[in-house]
A and B are shown apart, each in its own frame.
Chain A
Amino acid sequence: MSGAILAIETSCDDSCAAVVDASGLILSNVIASQSIHDKYGGVVPEIAARHHLHLLTPTIDAALSDAGLTLDLIERVAVTQGPGLIGALLVGVAQAKAIAAARGVPLVAVDHLQGHVAANFLGPDPFEPPFVCLIASGGHTLLARVEEQSSYTVLGETLDDAAGEAFDKGARMLGLPFPGGPALEALAGDGDPEAFDFPTARNVKGFDFSFAGVKTSLLYAIADLGEAESQLRRADLAASYQKAIVDALIDRLDRALSASGLGRVAIGGGVAANGPLRQRVSELGAETHIPAMKLCTDNAAMIAGAARFLPDCSTEAALALDAYPSGSKR
């Protein structure tokens, strides 16, 4: 039980708390999802922040009780500092700081994307660096080279929409409810992925991504077909659109793997749930690691997982810690 870390994650619309021990074993991993945003067709920052304030305390209590621990046995507190929705982040940061200060235990500030990468280091089956890592979700698209557990090198990022955002926006155009990823994948299962030729932004330099073009192409395709015909061909549109997004992800991942010569790949983020993406990753000929889905989507265990390899804040820095909405850790 030594070195137990309590981690808190509130960067978007899930209130998360987890306890992980020093060896990376997950003792608890509690996620309170805010389904209220579905009716708005996307996450509303002010509403997310209000709900975090309601949900976080019982979520932390549940994480402690699931782990069979009290705060007396927590040796470090970790929290997502950014990037994310600033009002949402600040709820977690304020609460984590207060717990750490009042208990007199060190605070660890964790970058959310470092957390996604660190989901791979959690027990019982950790994946050791070096590897190439793709994180794709509604909020981020990151291709990184991971050489050590405490950091990563950015190879590519999206220039506009995140991959999961592209899924959600396409789903909305096809009349599917939010969040659209799973619904679009289900609809695509009945369609022909070769029916339409949507762009994958291959002209974007390096390993960066762009999903604005594929989104616009879908919009035009629907308009060109007309309402009746596009309704009839929804499954083909969904399948072709999904293929374009997956192609774009696999193209960069494949090139990054070749360029790095590492032969090892991990994926994470909510888009890692996508069946065709998982299939295509498994065909890359690399040693592949995909954490359990509950560790791919936003969660606090991954934040604790990252904290294991990060230094404590100084006492002064812990008291003064502020959240950051974008960019990387300051």
Chain B
Amino acid sequence: MTSPAGAVIAFDTATAATVVGLTVGGTLVCELADRPGEDQRPRHAERLLTLCEEALAQAGLGWGGLGRIGVGVGPGTFTGLRIGVATAQGLAQATALPVIAVSTLEALSLRARAAEPLLQIAAVGDARRGEAYVAAWSADGTPTVAAQACPPERLGAVFAADLNPTLAVGDGALIFRKELESRGIEVPEDGSPLHRLDGGSLCELAASGAPVSSQELVPHYVRRPDAEIALQARAENS
């Protein structure tokens, strides 16, 4: 655990958004995000470090004044994840600060957990290709569904929502609202902040998580590369 006075910067580039948070002693000092519109490309490369420097400036800190760095490791878009993780690796190399790998989906679930403490919380991301990245936690915070890519027809079953009243949040929950609601899973209204990953939640997980070595700091891709799957299929067919 960090000392309560420690300053934590945490960021995430797993979704289209670039999200940065900075807490000092567990108090949110600054939260910045670049959220591109639906027809715009993510701007992780252009915005991530700029937002980090802005957050540090607002907190009146330099990199040396931080206690630790948190980085969202997904699941999410492969390129976005790598920009975040490579940035964290460079920062760790340059500062020797401890780095904590934060689950993007768990960070997404925190505000919903606070809002609905009696429900199972499902974090649902847009996995493209008509699928969702999902993970879930029971009301007492126990993981119930490990992060995975899931086709819409399995969405209801994967959360065992018939047994556990469930709230689903995230951009994937908006895309698959119909499928989720048809299985009795509750989805907050479209504009609800519960669907948005926030910097404070990233910092909260980074503050309590265990630091990882640079070799352990890897994206949680969930999916294997297409070429690897195709090569294996060819090998099995021959």
Contact = CB atoms under 8 A, between A and B. Distances in A.
Contact of A95 (B47, B53, B86, B215): B86
Contact of A91 (B47, B86, B228, B231): B86
B187 to A, nearest CB: 32
Contacts of A47: 225, 227-228
Interface in B63-99: 63, 78-79, 82-91, 93-95
Interface residues of A, number: 36
A135 to B, nearest CB: 26
Contacts of A71: 93-94
Given A46-B78, A53-B219, A102-B63, A93 B45 contact: yes
A57 interface: yes
Contact of A90 (B86, B91, B228): B86
- What range describes how many residues of B lie at the interface? 20 to 34
A280 interface: no
B93 A60 contact: yes
B82 A94 contact: yes
A87 B225 contact: no
A323 interface: yes
B94 to A, nearest CB: 4
Given A57-B93, A71-B94, A49 B49 contact: no
A329 interface: no
A98 B91 contact: yes
Contacts of A91: 82-83, 86
A219 interface: no
Interface in A13-38: none
A77 to B, nearest CB: 9
A87 B91 contact: no
Contact of B227 (A40, A96, A99, A102): A40
B218 interface: yes
Contacts of B215: 54, 57-58
Contacts of A292: none
A90 B94 contact: no
A97 B82 contact: no
Which 7 pairs between the two chains have the least Cβ-Cβ distance?
A98-B90, A102-B94, A94-B86, A95-B90, A46-B225, A44-B227, A322-B45
